[in-house]
Chains A and B, each alone.
Chain A
């Protein structure tokens, strides 16, 4: 079962007791503040799907000092299956990582009917939420604790982009992105394991390595394990990418390449790949990459093919691609590339 990445809350008789439009003095459900804060600390995002008047509901949440906890809140008279879908698309996560909490059987059924993947929770069970296995991330890293802030930074970026006059490349230039790459250290390993579990679209093989396996790789000279951090003028995206290369003589085999879906639209997807090709070239090696197709990771296949890779072999479900090593890859000039030695 997928761990939950976002909890979507109803308001009336769920987050608070009573119906706001009938009674302006609704009171918070007992224990709810603690649940919201705990989920936030675990790095689980939260949003709202409520049939209500937007301004009145927003003011009430501000009064309760809870408004800041929610991203992409959907407060309108739309059907809830639509608002849940809007939230998933805005965050760019799968519906199977969303939980929806409501007190009305009708709303729970309506969401479940359109999106059977969503975990629907009746508000009578609210007090069990923190104890549910799907609400307990395997790790709570610095990146998970900052997750809400990172998504909020993203909302600022997106609205800046919306209001930007010019094409996408010109916009990316305004972000002054810094792409920092370094060899993995022990303190990165939890986040790396978290990334391998959480990332599906920009993930070349889906291999999941345990903390202990990763720890062995960093001290083994036959392996190259690198982590990527991305920052820009709006803040840090945190550690958003990693690559694992096994050196097999003249061939370097890229077993895992992944990038968080949060940076998908930032034009950085192939910077890491290009760096690895250039590094292999310098060492006189040929870079090969494993690819295992899934329903969601075609973007990685296209990334390889469009960066000068071609298929050389198939081993079971694994497609092996080899890079054209005849030329050095250029880095996009709207990114500052920093390689940090450890």
Chain B
């Protein structure tokens, strides 16, 4: 699975992702919730073995599947 596919299947546990495109803002489709946010961040950190810094913890880096995949790639490249 690509990063994008993995992220999408994680999101599927929370919201309906059937029609979700990689550039759809995930925070506008529903579950903008603290627990969801922290679980998303922990999932990414554990699944890809990276540590997201406070600077990177920004809505822009998590707003859609493409952005999340990009932040994963940045961290894996370091």
Contact = CB atoms under 8 A, between A and B. Distances in A.
A217 to B, nearest CB: 25
A169 B59 contact: no
A270 interface: yes
A269 B27 CA distance: 14
Given A302-B41, A305-B57, A308-B59, A267 B13 contact: no
Interface residues of A, number: 25
A9 B35 CA distance: 31
Interface string B36-48: 1110010000000
Nearest to B33: A267
B58 interface: yes
A303 B37 contact: yes
A306 B41 CA distance: 11
A167 interface: yes
B13 A167 contact: yes
B38 A268 contact: no
Contact of B34 (A168, A169, A170, A299): A299
Contacts, number: 65
B27 to A, nearest CB: 7
A302 B31 contact: no
A264 B57 CA distance: 20
> Interface extent on B, as a size class?
20 to 34
B54 A301 contact: yes
Nearest to A172: B31
Given A169-B15, A308-B59, A303 B31 contact: no
A332 B27 CA distance: 11
Contacts of B34: 202, 259, 264, 269-270, 299-300, 302-303
A267 B36 CA distance: 8
A269 B34 CA distance: 5
Interface of B: 12-16, 27, 30-38, 41, 54, 57-59, 62
Interface of A: 167-170, 202, 259, 264-265, 267-270, 298-303, 305-308, 310-311, 332
20 contacts: A168-B14, A168-B31, A169-B31, A202-B34, A264-B34, A267-B31, A270-B34, A299-B34, A299-B35, A300-B34, A301-B54, A301-B57, A303-B34, A303-B38, A305-B58, A305-B59, A306-B27, A306-B37, A306-B57, A308-B59
